[in-house]
Structure 1
Amino acid sequence: MSGKPKVLYVSHNHPTIRPGGAEAYAYELYRAVRDGGEFEPLFLARTGPPVSISSRYHEGTLLTGVNEDPNQYFFYTDTLEYDWLNGTPRGKAALTKYLREFLRAQQPDVVHLQHTLFFGYDMLREIRQTLGEQVPILYTLHEFLPICHRNGQLVRTTTEKPCREESPRRCHECFPEVSPQAFFMRKRFIQSQMSAVDRFIAPSNFLRDRFVDWGLPADKVVPEEYGRLPVTAAPTRERRKRNRLVFIGQLSYFKGVNVLLKAMKRLQEDGADVHCAVYGANLELQPDEFRAEFAELLEATKETVSFEGEFNHDDLPTIMADADWVVVPSVWWENSPLVIQEAAQHRRPVIASDIGGMAEKVHNGVSGLHFKAADPADLAQTIAGAISNRKLWDELQRRIEPPYAMDEHVRSLTRHYKELLASKASEDEEELVTPRAPATEIEDVRYA
């Protein structure tokens, strides 16, 4: 034991099992705190079907260790039925028995959740009840899953347009099989569980504003960008033209890869001298209709697009060295896409959709370019202008600022942890001096 106070990080998956941006960030944060922070970190990663094919291998427990690291644990939820509407497991034994036993054994001083998916929002209340009021709970918001039943994407099923406003009526329009009353109760349930959280971390101002609009108390939601571990920047290869693009991300409808391929098809038909490499994972998890369109577009653009599939993150410098532009064509709002930070680390300008977290993180005409979201024609026009203007690339690259460093991020989070611990200790002392008056009426725990 290190003698340091403990912070427990909770993730909905482990990047070695299923790669993803939030998972990769959570694991990098754990490693950074382990290697140089003031807290001893623990890492609890949910795993098991349907996202992972792995299943538990010890009967009698849902917990196993991860490799040789004594502070990392897998938590298997393959035995649970999951209520996707309300974000809660129908069987509660995983929370009331196994999670409770884990928390009692580890006794973390701080709990910092990166996600509750498959654990369930009930996890928040279980952590509070098991560890008590003196343990701060923080929650990093990575997308809009508490707000939106459509996988947290905030995209309308009726129009495929980004959505700015939720309500029982509007949510029912997107999902006619779910009543407005059920959506009303969904929001009440999720907010009641999230009221156990002391501080929410929002990696973008756009995301923070959406959650405050939804009902989280503004003073509980603080902006804090993702930190990035240092890397050796990819070399900038001399080329006569800056006409090589790269897409790096999940292969899904919402990430807009098919929007990019449609734009590449237009450019190919126009005879443009351009090439795009597509890197991504989890195609097998996507609907058949999306996969069929993706395959058709790949075939139609085989002269200008190469599909590279899943990649090892250690190969990112090589991938960036072969690219001039990084394209982020998501059709949903996004939060703070890690690929934008990775592009900045390797000094590659970004061509991004003009909405949400992408528009916030990429300054149009300064460090990158915007195009009209979900519009292949506008993307094709933007790419054509970008690759035909060598001076533009030079100017954009020169103005790219380095991303937020992980060591700075760890120091900032440590201040949050210490501040909350001190506040909790002060509250305990105050209660000892001044006993709480007996309740005279039922407290209303709803958000305003």
Structure 2
Amino acid sequence: MRVLHIHNYYRFRGGEDVMFERIGAILRANGHTVTTFERRSSDISGTASKLRAFASSAYSAAAKREVRAALRDGRPDVVHVHNLYPLISPSVLEACVEEGVPVVMRCPNYRLECPNGVLMRNGKICTKCSGGREYWCALTNCRGNVLESIAFAARNTLARHGGLFTSCVSVFVPPSHFVKSRLVAAGFPADRIRVVPNVVPIPGKQANPADGAYVALAGRLSEEKGIETLLLAAKRLPNIPVRIAGEGPLDSILRILAPPNVTFVGQLSREALTDFYAGARMVVVPSRWYEAFGLVAAEAMSYALPVIATNMAGLAEIVDDEVTGLHFAAGDVAALAAHVERLWNAPGACRAMGLAGRRKVEREYSEQTYYTRLMSVYSQALESKTAPVAAGEMAKSA
């Protein structure tokens, strides 16, 4: 099968960029021909280029022409869309339909209903823009930059009114049932939404949490990750060591707030992260936002570690309460402290939960499982394939 993947890399490398590359590698390893159309937000610099990016994010005629040329040159069977913003835009979806190529679109965030993509504002869950009210992004200055907030609101509004996603995408692919439920509530057709959880590499090395010497947290040090909840819980448990890996905008503030039993180890390489997990007794994921999947939790489970996580969105689907870890309500310091103390004093339970988590990752999130699910999605997209649409015809039918 020939597949064209379309992706706009983020300015700072993140999980969506990683998944874009992993999916391509899995397809190539299984004998498929994969070509890519890429743009990089790191190329945006200076006021002029930012203004051009704002304009292109709403509708890029240039990107549409280039994708049409790629379609005619490579003749893919399927187009797999990842991130389109800000340098590609939904305009390329029109080119796919006009050339008669079905589109599969990953939905690893909430951008189809929320201009900001995370359903969060000022550190709290926010759904004001849901239901076609994207103007709230501009009115509340959601991005912290007036021009940027207006541009984000405008691009979502234009795409929704133009019907580009509902008219051009054959199958939407969220990583969790929670994201699917948000898409359905936003008006996207349920029969064209297929849940495909992210792929998680299975490490050869397993941790033995019974021997673990600390509580671990790995991730971006930002407000939505809820790290201050762990710091407050750690303050109640002065004899239990906590280590935090990662970097982010709250790095210096969190270091000031941290009690003496908390150590920050900085951003770790993949090899160093393996050692970090190997020495842990458990991993805490105290997110305050609707994690679409919860890759950190799944990766910790792949190392046979129990996970204590907030009981909402994608995390609640990954971590099975009392089986592969424990749940607590976001921001509940007392409950988190109680869970940490309980597992710290029960190394046998840590080991049993960790092994259950490892088995779940092997069963649900392996490369082979992902590949099988993705092929089923591609088959559905190919079955929905229609004849090429003449330019302008979609505007009449939208």
**TM-score interval (norm. to shorter):** 0.7 to 0.9
1:138 matches 2:99: no
1:6 matches 2:22: no
Q: Which has the higher helix share?
A: 2
1:21 is matched with 15
Task: Give the drift of 1:184.
Answer: 9.7
Q: 2:36 aligns with which of 30, 43, 58?
A: 43
Aligned partners of 1:234 and 1:318 also within 8 Å? no
Aligned partners of 2:208 and 2:351 also within 8 Å? no
Q: Distance in 2 between matches of 1:309 and 1:338?
A: 19
Task: Give the drift of 1:93.
Answer: 5.0
| Percentage of matched positions with identical amino acids | 24
Summarize deviations over 1:354-374 as a string: whole Å, max 9, x none.
111111211111111111113
Q: 1:360 aligns with which of 296, 317, 321?
A: 317
2:145 is matched with none
Output the aligned Cα RMSD.
3.4
1:153 matches 2:125: no
1:303 matches 2:296: no
Q: Distance in 2 between matches of 1:31 and 1:231?
A: 17
Aligned partners of 2:220 and 2:246 also within 8 Å? yes
1:372 is matched with 329
Summarize deviations over 1:140-182 as a string: whole Å, max 9, x none.
1101012113x2121254x8245498245696399346999x9
Q: Distance in 1 between matches of 2:153 and 2:24?
A: 35
Task: Give the drift of 1:345.
Answer: 1.3
| Relative contact order higher in (CA < 8 Å, ≥ 6 apart) | 2
Give the letter for the 1:46 counterpart: R
Task: Give the drift of 1:228.
Answer: 2.7
Report matched runs for 1:18-417 at 5 Å. Answer: 18-37=12-31, 39-49=32-42, 81-83=52-54, 89=57, 92-118=60-86, 119-129=88-98, 132-133=99-100, 135-149=101-115, 151-157=116-122, 160-161=124-125, 163=127, 166-167=130-131, 172=136, 175-176=139-140, 186-187=156-157, 189-190=159-160, 192-195=163-166, 196-236=168-208, 239=211, 242=212, 244-264=214-234, 266-267=235-236, 270-271=237-238, 273-281=239-247, 283=248, 286=249, 291=250, 294-301=251-258, 303-400=260-357, 401-403=359-361, 404-417=365-378
Q: Distance in 1 between matches of 2:216 and 2:112?
A: 32
User: CA 1:104–1:376 in structure 2 vs 1: closer, same or farther (change >3 Å)?
Assistant: farther
Aligned partners of 1:141 and 1:202 also within 8 Å? yes
Task: Give the drift of 1:215.
Answer: 0.8
Give the letter for the 1:8 counterpart: L
Aligned partners of 1:261 and 1:298 also within 8 Å? no
Q: Distance in 1 between matches of 2:137 and 2:103?
A: 35
Query: Is there any run of 5+ residues in structure 1 with no aligned partner, and where?
Result: 56-76, 432-438
Aligned partners of 2:288 and 2:331 also within 8 Å? yes
User: CA 1:19–1:92 in structure 2 vs 1: closer, same or farther (change >3 Å)?
Assistant: closer
User: CA 1:330–1:421 in structure 2 vs 1: closer, same or farther (change >3 Å)?
Assistant: same
User: CA 1:207–1:99 in structure 2 vs 1: closer, same or farther (change >3 Å)?
Assistant: same
Q: Distance in 2 between matches of 1:102 and 1:317?
A: 39
Q: Distance in 2 between matches of 1:122 and 1:334?
A: 28
User: CA 1:419–1:354 in structure 2 vs 1: closer, same or farther (change >3 Å)?
Assistant: closer
Structure index of larger Rg: 1
User: CA 1:411–1:92 in structure 2 vs 1: closer, same or farther (change >3 Å)?
Assistant: same
Q: Distance in 1 between matches of 2:384 and 2:397?
A: 23
Q: Distance in 1 between matches of 2:176 and 2:227?
A: 23
Q: Distance in 2 between matches of 1:164 and 1:205?
A: 21
Q: Distance in 2 between matches of 1:306 and 1:167?
A: 43
How many residues align? The count is 378
Q: Distance in 1 between matches of 2:133 and 2:4?
A: 38
For 1:260, what is the secondary structure of its paired residue?
helix
For 1:139, what is the secondary structure of its paired residue?
strand
Q: Distance in 2 between matches of 1:380 and 1:186?
A: 41
Give the TM-score of the pair, scaled to structure 2: 0.82
Task: Give the drift of 1:323.
Answer: 1.2
Q: Distance in 2 between matches of 1:198 and 1:360?
A: 25
Task: Give the drift of 1:377.
Answer: 3.9
Give the TM-score of the pair, scaled to structure 1: 0.74
Task: Give the drift of 1:408.
Answer: 2.4
Aligned partners of 1:229 and 1:406 also within 8 Å? yes
Task: Give the drift of 1:321.
Answer: 0.3
Aligned partners of 1:256 and 1:329 also within 8 Å? yes
